[in-house]
A and B are shown apart, each in its own frame.
Chain A
Amino acid sequence: MMRKGMSWFLLVVLMVFGLLVGCAPGASSDDGGEDAEGEEPATDENAEDGEISGELEIQYFVGGYGDSWWKEVIGDFQEEYPDVTITEHAGPNINEEMRSRWVSDDPPDVVYIDGAGSSETQMVEDGQLMDMTEWLSSVELEDGSKLEESFIVDPATYDGSIYSLPLVFDTWGTWYDNAWFEENDWTVPSDFPSFMDTMGQIKEDEGIAPFVTTGQYPYYFLRGVLYPAFGAAGGDELLTDVIEGKEGAWTSEPVMNVMKKVEEMQKAGYIDDGFGALNHTQSQMNFLLHDNAFIPVGFWLPNEMANDTPDDFEYGFIPSPMQDEGEPGAIVPDLRPLAIAEKAENPEAAKAFVEFVFTKEYAKSFSEHTGAIMNLQGVDLASSDEVPEFLKKANEMINDPEQVQIYQKPHPMSASLETPISNSLVSLMLGNISAEEFAEEAEKAASEYRQSLE
């Protein structure tokens, strides 16, 4: 009887296993290619009569920028192309919610890649995004100039191909309360020595640790402070080496110098020793409550914290001042791209939408709605009353090469490399390891990352 029971069980397990094989991830990427070809005829049908029609699905993350700009653009697009039925997939958790659609090869047509749970690098590695290299060269702005020549920052390239167009030009930097600084006569820092001086002054005057960041998301510090510091120390080249985990990059001298500065900040007691447990909102709250004076976040900070900002608080933004004395400030833009799915069911409408979005008019309205900048050159922000003051100043600063140098990263750092490095970074900033030990751990993480790519 027992044996009979066992064999039954085995049989069932086998059957379940058999069922599974049918619905598990495909064993090779070749399948993907075939599927895509299979869908081509449908595409042509849509384009045949020169009309854009059918259903267009747009996925966009709603975070610090809100969704009012999207509503405006999508509404206008609908008016322009009445035959298109637009389905929006939006929200703060949309990346998680849509994951099953991407897994089952039924993605939306257009995707705005931003927020937790999304990774442009991963999507490209998984072959989920359409190669736009050729198409892009044919797209023109309303004034006849080519779109590919009008970006502030060029699209990320993967082996020379373009899979996404950078829509939002955001940049990380260091924030302070301008009103508070003026009241106390503190100098706004412009390089690392003055940064240390000001922090020392604030610590003395207020008895607080002047600098805070989120320890639960250590990449805020990595992207907001270290990237620009690496850019200032070794240009785009060093930035690329560090992001791609090139051998020896993390132990190189310029990187060591930057990490020494971080160590110095920690040893002087300028980094809030409670930062390790804070998530981004908590750290930002502490900043608003004047528990700390400096915080590295992107342009979205004022928008994100709008409901909690005290009335007399005045946001001030500077490039994270980690560069040596006398050098211009450095920023590394962080771009949030718009992309078309490789398996989009309506690629023609998707292309029409992407083309529709990239105009100077929408770039201006983007700044008005969100307090950030859209990635197009020559947009006149100064004339608009609705663009926040800090953004006009920042925009001015960014466009003045004597004040600020822009460094570009080739593409975002892969999460497999960013996570271990961020972990060691927290340890360094808590004072548990030295800059040398950090460099060693980072170098090791980089070597493991390189191995995983092979």
Chain B
Amino acid sequence: MVQSKKQSYLFLAFCLVPTFILFAVFTLYPLVNGLYYSLFEWSGASSVGEFVGFDNYKRLFSDEIIPRTILHDYFLVVAKVIGIMILSTFFAVALTQMRIKEAPFYRIIFFFPNIMSVVVIGILWTFIYNPNLGLVNSGLEFIGLEEWTKPWLGSETWALPSLVLPSVWAGIGLFMLMLMGGISNISKSYYEAAEIDGATEWQQFWKVTLPLIWPQIKISILYIIITTLNGSFIIVQVMTRGGPNNSTHVMGSYLYEQAFVKYNFGYGATIGVMILILSLITVVIMQFMMRREKVEY
């Protein structure tokens, strides 16, 4: 039976309209709302706000802390992309290719941090970094590297790098599973053929595995970038609240401080708009950079 045009439109509407309404209410509305508030000087705690046009945006460009927060965010992005991708690729290859007997056990262990809330992870790691009782400093003392101990999260220099470890630790599992899925889809015959041609394991990884799981790697990298730009706020807020002396503020935590601590809700919304724009630009650039022909053998 051939559907009439009307019927097919009705069906389409039936599928799309509810989704679109939800999308409008939960995504478009807050988005536009944020844009709108960014034009106000508003404390966020009263009904009185003053329309100030683009004043908040002017302020954004003269705020000395903003460039630092952006830098911190991208530092975390780069460190996390490198750390997570190297480790998760390594583990994925090791668990699928090296015929380790305990592979399922390790899979669970590595995935474990992913089922924990980031808040819990943050609190856990503040204890690990605790200058007096923490695992890191006691570990260093134990192996005789006492001069390396420092108040990790309390130091303006070391606080931000210290945040990388928990973020990487928390991220590995998910991407490892994604890459393992990709690797297990590669037919064994490629490796056999490569082996007959005399390729070493290293060459097999570079010439066979990597090109064939490139789509998964690409998605993983984009996902890390987006979640870091939007979500690094949580770990910063839990572990350092942006301190000491703004040395760990990322855009999100600075937004929070402005909007809810210093009562500059309008300015906070402006920072939100900046995060949106920067995330979009970054993702577009990364898409462009990681463009590659799809490989098939």
The answer to whether A274 touches B151 (Cβ under 8 A) is yes
Instruction: Tell me the complex Cα distance, A424–B151, Å.
Output: 18
Q: A122-B263, A416-B264 are in contact. Are A215 and B46 (CB under 8 A)?
A: no
B residues near A31, Cβ cutoff 8 Å: 47-48
Chain B residues near A306 (CB-CB < 8 A) = none
Given contacts A127-B48, A273-B131, contact A430 B263 (CB under 8 A): no
Chain B 126-170, CB-CB to A under 8 Å as 1, else 0, gives 100111100000000000000000111111100100000000000
Residue from B48, B130, B264 whose CB has the most chain A CB atoms within 10 Å:
B48
Chain A contact surface mostly: helix
With A105-B47, A415-B262 already in contact, the answer to whether A276 and B24 are too (CB < 8 A) is no
- B261 adjacent to A32 (CB under 8 Å): no
In the complex, chain A residues whose CB is within 8 Å of the CB of B156: 276, 427, 430, 432
Which residue in A12, A17, A24, A415 is a CB contact (below 8 Å) of B37? Answer: A24
- The answer to whether A276 touches B153, judged by C-beta atoms less than 8 angstroms apart, is yes
Q: Of B3-11, B72-80, B195-203, B243-251, which stretch is located at the interface?
A: B243-251
Check A419/B45 contact, CB under 8 A, given A17-B36, A274-B132, A274-B154: no
Contact of A277 with B by CB under 8 A: yes
Q: Which residue of A lies closest to B154 (CB)?
A: A276
Closest-CB distance, A390 to chain B (whole angstroms): 26
A423's closest neighbor in chain B, by CB? B245
Proximity string of chain B (42-67) to chain A, C-beta cutoff 8 Å, 1 when within and 0 when not: 11111111110000000000000000
* Complex: A138 Cα to B49 Cα, angstroms: 34
Measured in the bound complex, the distance between the Cα atoms of B40 and A423 in whole Å is: 26
Of B25-33, B214-222, B274-282, the one contacting chain A is B25-33
| Residue contact B29 to A16, C-beta cutoff 8 Å | yes
Q: What's the minimum C-beta distance from B120 to chain A, rounded to whole angstroms? A: 16
Query: In the complex, what distance in Å separates the CA atom of A432 from the CA atom of B247?
Result: 12
Q: How far is the CA of A71 from the CA of B262 in the complex (A)?
A: 32
Residue of A16, A29, A119, A273 with most partner-chain B CB within 10 A:
A16
Q: In the complex, which residues of chain B have a beta carbon less than 8 angstroms from the beta carbon of A79?
A: none
Tell whether A215 pairs with B29 under 8 Å between CB atoms, given A25-B42, A25-B49, A32-B48: no
Cross-interface CB contact of B43 among A125, A278, A426, cutoff 8 Å = A125
Tell whether B223 is near chain A: CB-to-CB under 8 Å: no
Given known contacts A25-B48, A216-B240, A286-B132, A126 and B43 CB-to-CB distance under 8 angstroms: yes
Closest chain A CB from B257 CB (angstroms): 7
- How many chain B residues touch the partner (CB < 8 A)? 44
> How far is A430 from B48 in the complex, measured between Cα atoms in Å?
40
Q: Within A423-451, which residues are at the interface with B (CB < 8 Å)?
A: 423-424, 426-427, 430, 432
B residues near A432, Cβ cutoff 8 Å: 156, 245
Residue of A nearest to B241 (CB): A216
Closest to A105 in B: B47
A427 and B244 within 8 A (CB): yes
- B-side contacts of A277, CB under 8 Å: 126, 129, 131, 151-154, 159, 239-240, 243-244
Give the docked Cα–Cα distance between A333 and B130 (Å): 33
CB neighbours (8 Å) of A16 from chain B are 24, 28-29, 32
Check B261 against A415 for contact (C-beta < 8 Å). Answer: yes
Which of A96-104, A311-319, A401-409 has 4 or more CB atoms under 8 Å from chain B? A96-104
Name the residue on B nearest A13 (C-beta): B32
Closest to B126 in A: A277
Q: Do B28 and A13 touch (CB < 8 A)?
A: yes
B112 interface hit (Cβ, 8 Å) = no
Chain A CB within 8 A of B205 CB: no
Q: Is the CB of A278 within 8 A of B36?
A: no
Give Cα A427–Cα B241 distance, bound, in whole angstroms.
Answer: 15
Determine the residue in chain B with the shortest Cβ distance to A291: B132
**Within the assembled complex, what's the spacing in Å between the Cα atoms of A125 and B131?**
41
Asked whether any CB of chain B lies closer than 8 Å to the CB of A41, the reply is no
A195 to B255, CA, bound (A): 40
Contact B151 A24 (CB under 8 A): no
Q: Which of A24, A102, A123, A426 is B36 in contact with, Cβ under 8 Å?
A: A24
In the complex, what distance in Å separates the CA atom of A277 from the CA atom of B43? 28
Measured CB to CB, the residues of A under 8 A from B are: 12-13, 16-17, 19-21, 24-29, 31-32, 99, 102-105, 117, 119, 122-123, 125-128, 215-216, 218, 273-279, 282, 286, 291, 415-416, 419, 423-424, 426-427, 430, 432
Task: Return the 6 tightest CB-CB contacts between A and B, nearest first.
Answer: A276-B154, A25-B49, A277-B153, A274-B131, A274-B151, A126-B46
- 7 chain-A/chain-B pairs, Cβ below 8 angstroms: A16-B32, A20-B32, A24-B33, A127-B48, A274-B154, A275-B151, A276-B155
**Which residue numbers of B lie inside 8 Å of A, CB to CB?**
24, 28-29, 32-33, 36-37, 40, 42-51, 126, 129-132, 150-156, 159, 239-241, 243-246, 257, 260-264
